Amino acid sequence: MKPIQSALKSWMRTNENFKENYTKIKNEVLKDQEIREFLSLNPQLTKQEIDKSLIKLYEYKTQSKQCNQCQGFESCKNMLPGYSPVLHVENNEIRLSYEKCHSKIMHEKAQEQQKLIQSLHMPKDILQARLSDITNDETRIQAIAEILDFLDQAKTELPRKGLYLYGQFGVGKTYLLGALANELKNFNISSTLIYMPEFVRELKASFKDDSFNDKIDYFKKADVLMLDDIGAEMQSAWFRDEVLGSVLQYRMMERLPVFFTSNYDLDQLEFQLASTKSGVETVKAGRIIERIKQVSKEIKIEGHNRRL
């Protein structure tokens, strides 16, 4: 090691280009306003210590401090993306450390908030929906007003009732749920969005790995449960009574809100729920409808098919 160090020092002494660059960099570093302020606040630092720490000072100078040279976390130019350099003195020696920048803190917060939205077979565009992107037209004005009122109440206490949004295909019912879920995460309120036809298949498959009860408990206890396209799933007395009835009963008793979307109004849905392979079971279907009314408010959405 020693012969290598000796050779390096000899090269540094004889290489004029290196000495010129070194002097130039040193002058630039010591003229930097932030470094000048740092050194003025630490007059105990010797010239020898400053020269020894030139690389640290240069590193500090060239890095973005608290995002002042970056557009965001993804475009961070620092050696440690998302971390901002900090100069300090310890035992009369210059130290360089890094702390999380504003962009990284916001990025991590956004990631944590996104975890509050759980979904089962929901399209990506729904999970990225925003209320600000929704046209406040006459066909959806009541639904939007109800959602804004729900959000306003949720700032202090989670309302006990959600909404039952019904209307034709493509009028934006599911998109409203996605937009609501993204607003709720800002209050640290979790949402679970479920596409009902796939939900039925998922639960049937869960019998194979004994996860059925765990999944049902999870859906029962979500802060805000959202059931998309209820009535479109294949009907069975088992699903209606043992799954849907159980979940809605729990949430009704615990005063937890449920949001629904459907192509059917509640009278039409009752007919769908009553029609099973075992025949028409009006009483049991009516019991489900009553539970839906206890956890949600019926709102009709009209308009043209936005998917065309």
- Residue positions counted in the chain: 308
Q: Is residue 207 part of a domain?
A: yes
CB 237 within 8 A of CB 280: no
Residue 242 domain boundaries? 115-300
Whether residue 296 sits in one domain with residue 178: yes
Residue 160 and residue 200 in one domain: yes
Question: CA-CA distance, 163 to 197, in Å (whole number)?
Answer: 20
**91 alpha carbon, distance to own chain's centre:** 43
**152 lies in the same domain as 269:** yes
The predicted pLDDT at position 159 comes to: 95
Residues 258 and 189 occupy one common structural domain: yes
Task: Mention every residue, 6+ apart, whose C-beta is less than 8 A from residue 116.
Answer: 184, 185, 188, 189, 190, 191
Are 39 and 174 within one domain?
no
Global pTM exceeds 0.95: no
Token representation of residue 144: 């939007």
Mean pLDDT of 166-182: 89
pLDDT at site 1: 45
Banded pLDDT at 115 (limits 50, 70, 90): low
Number of domains composing the chain = 2
- Tell me the range of 49-63, 117-131, 235-249, 280-294 where mean pLDDT is highest: 280-294
Provide CB contacts within 8 A for 205, sequence distance 6+: none
Q: Are residues 277 and 148 in the same domain?
A: yes
Tell me how far apart the 2 most distant CA atoms of the chain are, in Å. Answer: 98
| 29/120: higher pLDDT | 29
Structural domain includes residue 110: no
